[in-house]
């Protein structure tokens, strides 16, 4: 899965700029037209969640500043927070070296996780005890 366009970007130096359309046109979408997106809290650095975008979601996110994903369960565009009130404002969007993942720094309003926890990653493996531990309770309302 060599992405020759992104290979050509590798030698670029800090501060070099490319047309954003060239980058988006050459992102690698999976067979469903989706790319994984990691959302990270722009202040704490905490990784909040991973969700998916299609091309339209990327463009909506960039132009509106509201993180907008593709819901695989509902098969529709999903502006984060529309039902929960827990939206995410985009701070920065970055692509990785081979153009098959996006990383977004976001300002998270409320909780990222549908359970009410700040982050979706609250189940930690512990090989020594052969168990997995819950690292955060659902906050009291």
CB of 102 to a second copy, least distance (A): 8
| Residues 6+ away with beta carbon under 8 Å from 8 | none
Q: In angstroms, how far apart are the furthest CA atoms of the chain?
A: 51
CB of 82 to a second copy, least distance (A): 19
CB of 135 to a second copy, least distance (A): 6
For a second copy, which is the closer residue by CB, 82 or 138? 138
For a second copy, which is the closer residue by CB, 22 or 110? 22
For a second copy, which is the closer residue by CB, 44 or 110? 44
Cβ count near 27 (within 10 Å): 20
CB of 109 to a second copy, least distance (A): 18
Q: Which of 57, 129, 137 lies closest to 93, judged by CA?
A: 57
Q: Which of 40, 27, 1 lies closest to 100, judged by CA?
A: 27
For a second copy, which is the closer residue by CB, 87 or 98? 98
For a second copy, which is the closer residue by CB, 72 or 110? 72
C-alpha distances out from residue 30 to 35, 38, 46, 105, Å: 6, 16, 26, 23
CB of 73 to a second copy, least distance (A): 5
Per the CB < 8 A criterion, the answer to whether 18 and 99 are in contact is: no
The site for a second copy (CB under 8 A) is made up of 1-2, 9-23, 36, 38, 40, 44-47, 49-50, 62-63, 72-73, 92-98, 101, 103, 113-115, 117, 120-127, 129-138
């Amino acid at each position: 899965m060599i992405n020759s366009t992104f290979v050509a970007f590798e030698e670029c130096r800090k501060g070099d700029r490319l047309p954003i359309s060239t980058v988006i046109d050459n992102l690698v979408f999976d067979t469903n037209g989706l790319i994984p997106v990691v959302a990270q809290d722009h202040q704490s650095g905490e990784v909040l969640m991973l969700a998916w975008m299609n091309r339209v979601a990327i463009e909506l996110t960039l132009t509106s500043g509201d993180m907008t994903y593709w819901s695989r369960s509902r098969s529709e565009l999903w502006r984060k927070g529309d039902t929960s009130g827990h939206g995410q404002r985009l701070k920065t969007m970055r692509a990785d070296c081979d153009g098959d993942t996006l990383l977004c720094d976001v300002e998270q309003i409320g909780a990222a996780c549908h359970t009410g926890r700040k982050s979706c990653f609250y189940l930690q493996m512990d090989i020594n005890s052969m168990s997995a531990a819950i690292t955060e309770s659902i906050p009291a309302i």
